[in-house]
Amino acid sequence: MLAAALLAAAALVPTSDAAPRRVDVWFVRDGELRATSRRVASIPAAVRALLAGPNAPERASGTRSAVPPRTPLRGVSVARRIVTVDLGARFASGREPASLRARVAQLVETITSIRGVAGVRVLVEGGVPLGLFPGIDLRRPLRQGAVELRRGPTIRESQELLVDLGFLAPGGVTGALDDQTAVAVLEFEKWSGLPRDGVLDPATASALRRATRPRPVTPGTGRRIEVLIDRQLALLVEGRRVVRAVHISSGAGGATPTGSFHVYRKEQMSWSVPFSVWMPWASYFVGGIAFHEYPIVPAYPASHGCVRVNRYDAIFLYEFATSGTPVLVLGSSSWAA
């Protein structure tokens, strides 16, 4: 078996005369390593295929390479089933840890996917680049799977980002994709103009990493609540800072009036006479219209006029909306997320 493996690895060392065979060349898509197939006749040819990057159809599908373009290949050698690859200095350019780790992972997975290869030794400009690749020790050969590619933020890290941006209460950091997280994701999607599905998919997680905290729509120095009808969000504002963005559902067909109002009555459990329903944590701001908790809060206007508040934010909004707090209901918002 060992002899066969040695022969398999050695067969791909020459740069000519050998018959081309299928080899997996690894790139990155959606933050994960993905294999693509190439026909090559040698290990150097496999490395050159990696350095060339994805082809046009692969790029169209979202496949990318962390290896810097035009990285030169200085040499390839094989000894005792260990492949040594010497690359130009461009391979170590940049300081983004995720990119640096990904390019080493691509190289190692591409070469170790060749039958008979036991490991890869990486050189840059003929030397071992100590300290340039975070968490990777290049002084010894790397085996298949040795470099774990970071597949984007964990659920807990995404929840912590949602807290930092004002979409989730600190107590919502659980490490699990629960209903409270889905509501916070929906709030972020509403603010960012993304599809409103509450799903923390790779595209949403990527947008979350690039996001900044929501900002108030209206100028002011005190406490106020901005209801954004077009976004179906309530922004709880202190001065120039959004304390929390809250998922709400306003009146269907424009039943929630726009304008400037203020909280004038508060009831922890209010009874709606017209609709014969209890409204927990109610803060009235115009006529019989109030913010209140409701079990069904869709991503579109659905109420008879009140502003429905999801159960995870209802108490927080109730305590924030003290008597006299200004409420500005805006039909449209001329701002960019």
DSSP states of 190-203: HHHT--SS----HH
Distance from C-alpha of 123 to C-alpha of 188, rounded to nearest angstrom: 44
> Which run of H or of E encompasses 182?
helix 179-192
Tell me the residue range of the domain where 198 lies: 155-210
Ranges of beta strands (E only) in 199-306 are: 223-228, 233-238, 241-249, 259-262, 265-272, 277-286, 289-293
Can you give the pLDDT at residue 146? 83
| Shared domain check, 188 and 268 | no
Do residues 232 and 250 touch, judged by C-beta distance below 8 A?
A: yes
* Residue 288 falls inside a structural domain: yes
CATH code of the domain in which 284 resides: 2.40.440.10
Same domain, yes or no: 119 and 71: yes
The mean pLDDT value of the chain amounts to 88
The DSSP 8-state label assigned to residue 307 in this structure reads: E
Q: Which residue has the tokens 């081309």?
A: 20
CA distance 278 to 263: 19
Which of 187, 210, 233 lies at the terminal end of a domain, its last residue?
A: 210
Given this model, what pLDDT does residue 333 score? 67
Residue 215 lies in a domain: no
Whole-number pLDDT of residue 149:
63
Q: 230 and 190, same structural domain?
A: no
Q: Tell me if 81 is assigned to some domain.
A: yes
Spatial strand order of the sheet with 73-79 comes to 73-79, 82-87, 119-124
Give a yes or no: residue 290 inside a domain.
yes
Q: Are residues 78 and 101 in the same domain?
A: yes
Instruction: Supply the pLDDT for residue 89.
Output: 92
Check whether residue 78 and residue 112 sit in a common domain. yes
Number of folded domains that form the chain: 3
Order across the sheet with 259-262: list the strands: 259-262, 326-330, 223-228, 233-238, 241-249, 307-309, 289-293, 277-286, 265-272
Residue (of 106, 105, 136, 141) closest to 122 by Cα position:
141
For residue 4, what pLDDT band results from cuts at 50, 70 and 90?
very low
Q: How confident is the model at residue 334 (pLDDT cuts 50, 70, 90)?
A: low
Residue with tokens 């504002």: 237
Q: What is the pLDDT of residue 155?
A: 83
In a domain, 148, yes or no: no
* Residue 273 per-residue DSSP state: T
> How far, in Å, CA of 174 to CA of 215, rounded?
26
The residue behind tokens 């990155």 is 28
Decide if 325 is inside a domain. Answer: yes
Q: Which of helix, strand or coil describes residue 51?
A: helix
Q: Is the pTM of this model over 0.85?
A: no
pLDDT winner (highest mean) among 9-18, 62-71, 88-97, 136-145: 62-71
| Amino acid occupying residue 22 | R
17 and 103 in a single domain? The answer is yes
Residue 335: φ, ψ to 5°:
-145, 160
**Residue 120: per-residue pLDDT:** 95
The answer to the question of residue 135 being in a domain is no
**In the structure encoding, which two tokens stand for residue 110, read together?**
């591409």
Q: pLDDT by residue (tens digit) across 161-214?
A: 999 999 999 999 988 889 999 999 999 999 999 999 998 887 888 899 889 999
Domain co-membership, 9 together with 94: yes
Percent of the chain, pLDDT > 70?
Answer: 92
